[in-house]
Structure 1
Amino acid sequence: PSGIRPAYWYEDEEIVVGASERAAIQTVFNVPFTSVKELKPGHALIIKCHGAISEEPFTEPREHRACSFERIYFSRGNDREIYLERKKLGELLAKPVLEAVDYDIDHTVFSYIPNTAEAAFYGLAEGLEKELNNWKQEQILKLKASKKLSPEKLQDILNRRPRVEKLVHKDEKQRTFIADTKSRNNMVSYVYDVTYGLVENKKDNLVLLDDSIVRGTTLRDSIVNIASRLKPKQIIILSSAPQIRYPDCYGIDMSKMKDFIAFQALVELLQENGQSELLQAAYKRCKASENLPSEMIKNEVAVLYDNFEYCEISQRISKLVTPEGIKTSVRVIYQTLDGLHQACPKNKGDWYFSGRYPTPGGNRVVNRAFMNFMENRDERAY
């Protein structure tokens, strides 16, 4: 009813077919974008024995809350809309990262963590060009106003470009996010490698874009470790997705609070600030509402995050993804919720980021996941 998961279908005089991705139908049947229809929320595709095909409502549609993580990560990305949305997610990070390096383009190398961040990286590169063009215009106008604009200075300004490189390489056969926990921990240590000789020791900033950061395992156990061998001045990790703070219960394997690095950061900050009692208070509220009807249950974890600014959580995550013994400074910059909605306007489902679940059962799941954490129970919340 909320259109959480995508469904597309196509018909002609010979066949009718459905799939979770529009591009799959386009590729197999060689049909244009406009010929593939999206199944409306609260509707079922009915195919009669005599060949009649129709979309029929089976319940009242609710607020449309299509899953945004489908757009960020799960879909293959060869759908036109998804590709452009991923590019926009990357573009929106251009200004924040330039501010983080004080616009020092000459001493910053930009790259990405393969493979699902590639489209977002193209957007980041375009965003950097736009920001740099604005800077170039300002510099030229300043020099012109002061009558110091020479052909040499003009050419020097025009020649400045972002240093975009392919620095991180991944074994194409392995995808750690969808592996089980034990296999994932074994895989991440050797799945990545880097290109040497492009980052100037102790002088260049190294910026790496990832599509999302769920557990932080890959960053801590592999990416940051191997990237630090390039000896950059600092490592900045960009996430095209916002902070993943809450579990999913609609088909994505993100069900344990203890696994989320954003939640780990929250717990550390609460403990460090002498606010551990807030965890116990939230636990008691969860237990008290455990047997209430789903419609009456509130997300009791969300209030814990309200104690800290978004950037404070990011700063603590930066520490958590830094391996022991790494002297290089590591910083993590996340996409904002506003940025997500700007880039993916049709997919408002953001419960793993915001805690706003599209169904009443979602609040029950997040509370149960939190209770499992407090009780040291390593099990799913559903």
Structure 2
Amino acid sequence: MSDQLKHECGIAMIRLLKPLEYYQEKYGSWRYGIQKLYLLMEKQHNRGQEGAGAVGLKLDMPPGNTYIHRERSCSDQPIKDVFDGVYSELAAAEAKNPEKFNDPAWAKANLPFAGELYLGHLRYGTFGRNSIDFVHPVMRENNWKSRNLVLAGNFNLTNVDELFNLLVGLGQCPKNYTDTVTILEKVGHYLDEENQMLFRQYKNDGLSNQEISPQIERNIDIKQVLSNASRDWDGGYAIAGLFGHGDSFAMRDPWGIRPAFYYHDDEIVVVASERPVIQTALNVKADTIKEIDPGNALIIRKNGDVAEVPVRVAQKRRSCSFERIYFSRGSDKDIYKERKKLGQLLTPAILESVGHDMKNTVFSFIPNTAETSFYGMMEGVRHHLTEQKKQQIHDLNGNWTEEKLQEIISVEPRVEKIAIKDAKMRTFISNDEGRDDLVGHVYDVTYGIVKNKEDNLVVIDDSIVRGTTLKQSILRILDRLHPKKIVIVSSAPQIRYPDCYGIDMTRMGEFIAFNAAIAMLKEQGLESIIDETYKKCKAQENLPKEEVVNYVKEIYKPFTAEAISDKIAVLLTPEVMDAEVKIVYQTIENLHIACPDNTGDWYFTGNYPTPGGNKVVNTSFINYCEGNDKRSY
């Protein structure tokens, strides 16, 4: 994506099911678990670069010993910083006690992160506060092991205001007005209740306090704790957690908006936000990795029992398609196929945009994340050419010559590497004109492969959200090649509505599709639609989220998708531009063909899976009309 967006976070959890001695003997190191956690986090660095954290937990530690260790960072290289911190302590211990360091029993008794349970997190801050206080994993500490709670998640809740008030109603005084604190305290509250209920039960049975603690640890109903805590959550979430005594879990929202996968054998349980990172870290096949079903939790008991159980009633699956188009790792077999299909399905519209002139059209892609959809696009173009060649040969009706046949079969699509992003330009010049000039040099282009004023240049991107980079940089750069026409292709449909489930897209005025529709309404004397939509949104501003309707859809109703695309091209074309600019977007219908099992399309259609989504888009439009730049949730 040429427009960079902040994205949801990544989680990684590891539970070793054997004693540390087992891994020392089989793999040559008791550090097997922490090494795999590092690999899982590094392979998911695409999911968060504003912060990282890791927690290690030791099972069955006697009183007086630290059994939970945490390392967090919000530096420029947070993963490296976290594991530098972990390994520096281990290196110091090895230097001081070389003869004991490789003894798993000694290590567990004396060294941090020498344990059986690990939780890691990668953060993109949707609220823009890059403080260590907001870096996961977050903790709720207590002297009773079974009341200790550690959480890390990829989530965003739309109804933090409601949940905050619920906590206050419980008698709590939350220290921050965020969904992280809300989730931590909600789970913590019901964990406390479960502990207290079991304590009273065993006390009535005549057990001493010391006898009660291990009984509580063995019999906590984790499913019930999670079910009670998540009852009022509205949003997308994949959350992993540890309890101090050694139970752990990973749970997913009822719509499957946010992803979560796991692998389980007799040695290890691994949870991650993406499937291929588990494949890479453990060298296992894709079909051995399972997806946590929507509304379910994977629960790993201290004794090693593993079960996936329902904690919320599953809803119609609405996994985020935009995540699959751009954010997820393209090495996942399904995502790779989906991205190729998205490119392939665009072929008819692309060929129409260049008048089917294959001899005078060059195909390329920007940025590198669009490469897979580019391959699909070229498969579609080559298929079209093959069918065209067959028809041309058939039309010769046997009256062919070697020269004519050679002319027909030699036509191939012209594929070139047009743009190269070779440096991260720092726009330190404060003057706007100077900044624009720097932005215009983010990419280098390959000269001499586009025929001046003759060739069309087709460039595919995975999505066009704001269009800022297109206008300020990419189109200007491509125009230096002097093509007759530039066609920018988006493998995603027009992004018209804000997200509220983890991706940092909350302001209506940032979407080029929305700005195009507003401009067309004004140009065609239809400004009353803007006013009426604002009044309807304002009238339901204080309604419960369940009663809010997405009236913002009415902004787009008067226009076809093609008309809006054409207006977007006008808005994004720089003032000084020789080439004609055309923009081609994916259709909603083709999106669902390419991603049939992941139908979350609210960015494009405004059809939110949860009631809170309508509340967010309502607020976002009101903010736009009132000139308010604050977030809509």
With normalisation by structure 1, the TM-score equals 0.95
2:617 counterpart SS class:
helix
Are 1:171 and 2:418 matched, yes or no? no
Give the 5 Å matches for 1:10-21.
Answer: 10-21=263-274
Task: Report what 1:136 is aligned to.
Answer: 389
TM-aligned CA deviation for residue 33 of structure 1: 0.5
Are 1:54 and 2:307 matched, yes or no? yes
2:316 aligns with one of 54, 63, 66: 63
Q: What is the distance in 2 between the residues matched to 1:358 and 1:289?
A: 19
Task: Report what 1:205 is aligned to.
Answer: 456
Deviations 1:283-320 (A, max 9, x none): 00001011112111110110121110110100000011
Task: Report what 1:352 is aligned to.
Answer: 603
Q: What is the distance in 1 between the residues matched to 2:314 and 2:526?
A: 42
TM-aligned CA deviation for residue 185 of structure 1: 7.9
Structure 1 contact 91–123 (Cα < 8 Å) conserved: yes
Seen in structure 2, the aligned counterparts of structure 1 residues 227 and 345 have a Cα distance that, compared at 3 Å, is same
225-234 or 163-172: bigger deviation: 163-172
Q: What is the distance in 1 between the residues matched to 2:504 and 2:436?
A: 16
Off by >6 Å, runs of 4+ in structure 1? 184-187
Task: Report what 2:256 is aligned to.
Answer: 3
TM-aligned CA deviation for residue 175 of structure 1: 12
Q: What is the distance in 2 between the residues matched to 1:282 and 1:266?
A: 13
Structure 1 contact 166–195 (Cα < 8 Å) conserved: yes
Task: Report what 2:574 is aligned to.
Answer: 323
Deviations 1:79-136 (A, max 9, x none): 0110111011011111211111111100000000021100000111111000111111
TM-aligned CA deviation for residue 188 of structure 1: 4.4
Seen in structure 2, the aligned counterparts of structure 1 residues 96 and 248 have a Cα distance that, compared at 3 Å, is same
Q: What is the distance in 2 between the residues matched to 1:361 and 1:186?
A: 41
Give 1:195's aligned amino acid. T
TM-aligned CA deviation for residue 14 of structure 1: 1.7
Deviations 1:228-248 (A, max 9, x none): 000000100000000000000
Q: What is the distance in 2 between the residues matched to 1:284 and 1:247?
A: 19
TM-aligned CA deviation for residue 189 of structure 1: 3.4
Give 1:36's aligned amino acid. I
Task: Report what 2:289 is aligned to.
Answer: 36
Q: What is the distance in 1 between the residues matched to 2:626 and 2:415?
A: 47
Structure 1 contact 235–329 (Cα < 8 Å) conserved: yes
1:99 aligns with one of 349, 352, 375: 352
1:153 counterpart SS class:
helix
Q: What is the distance in 2 between the residues matched to 1:365 and 1:171?
A: 38
TM-aligned CA deviation for residue 174 of structure 1: 8.1
Task: Report what 2:96 is aligned to.
Answer: none
Seen in structure 2, the aligned counterparts of structure 1 residues 187 and 76 have a Cα distance that, compared at 3 Å, is farther
Give 1:60's aligned amino acid. V
TM-aligned CA deviation for residue 141 of structure 1: 0.9
Give 1:143's aligned amino acid. L
Task: Report what 1:364 is aligned to.
Answer: 615
Are 1:108 and 2:336 matched, yes or no? no
Task: Report what 2:538 is aligned to.
Answer: 287
Structure 1 contact 219–321 (Cα < 8 Å) conserved: yes
Unaligned 5+ runs, structure 1:
177-183
Seen in structure 2, the aligned counterparts of structure 1 residues 249 and 174 have a Cα distance that, compared at 3 Å, is farther
Give 1:261's aligned amino acid. I
Greater RCO, CA 8 A, separation 6+: 1
Count residues in correspondence.
Answer: 373
Give the 5 Å matches for 1:204-353.
Answer: 204-353=455-604
TM-aligned CA deviation for residue 190 of structure 1: 3.0
TM-aligned CA deviation for residue 148 of structure 1: 3.4
Q: What is the distance in 2 between the residues matched to 1:188 and 1:12?
A: 50
TM-aligned CA deviation for residue 171 of structure 1: 3.1
Q: What is the distance in 1 between the residues matched to 2:468 and 2:424?
A: 18
Seen in structure 2, the aligned counterparts of structure 1 residues 59 and 185 have a Cα distance that, compared at 3 Å, is farther
Structure 1 contact 117–209 (Cα < 8 Å) conserved: yes
Give 1:224's aligned amino acid. L
Deviations 1:247-281 (A, max 9, x none): 00000011000000000101100000011111111
Q: What is the distance in 2 between the residues matched to 1:173 and 1:39?
A: 38
Q: What is the distance in 1 between the residues matched to 2:270 and 2:426?
A: 28
1:117 counterpart SS class:
helix
Task: Report what 1:181 is aligned to.
Answer: none
1:301 counterpart SS class:
helix
TM-aligned CA deviation for residue 172 of structure 1: 6.5
Q: What is the distance in 1 between the residues matched to 2:295 and 2:391?
A: 52
Q: What is the distance in 1 between the residues matched to 2:475 and 2:532?
A: 36
- Structure exhibiting the larger radius of gyration computed from Cα positions: 2
TM-aligned CA deviation for residue 193 of structure 1: 1.5
2:447 aligns with one of 193, 196, 209: 196
With normalisation by structure 2, the TM-score equals 0.58
Q: What is the distance in 2 between the residues matched to 1:33 and 1:349?
A: 23
Structure 1 contact 188–217 (Cα < 8 Å) conserved: no
Deviations 1:310-355 (A, max 9, x none): 1010000001111111121100000000110011111100000000
Task: Report what 1:87 is aligned to.
Answer: 340
Seen in structure 2, the aligned counterparts of structure 1 residues 212 and 326 have a Cα distance that, compared at 3 Å, is same
1:98 counterpart SS class:
helix
Seen in structure 2, the aligned counterparts of structure 1 residues 337 and 172 have a Cα distance that, compared at 3 Å, is farther
2:564 counterpart SS class:
helix
Q: What is the distance in 2 between the residues matched to 1:314 and 1:238?
A: 10
Structure 1 contact 185–217 (Cα < 8 Å) conserved: no
Q: What is the distance in 2 between the residues matched to 1:280 and 1:175?
A: 41
Q: What is the distance in 2 between the residues matched to 1:13 and 1:172?
A: 46
Seen in structure 2, the aligned counterparts of structure 1 residues 175 and 332 have a Cα distance that, compared at 3 Å, is farther
Task: Report what 1:381 is aligned to.
Answer: 632
Q: What is the distance in 2 between the residues matched to 1:29 and 1:189?
A: 43
Task: Report what 1:154 is aligned to.
Answer: 405
Give 2:332's aligned amino acid. D
Structure 1 contact 210–240 (Cα < 8 Å) conserved: yes
Deviations 1:158-205 (A, max 9, x none): 1110001110111376899xxxxxxx9898433211100000000000
1:280 counterpart SS class:
helix
Seen in structure 2, the aligned counterparts of structure 1 residues 255 and 83 have a Cα distance that, compared at 3 Å, is same
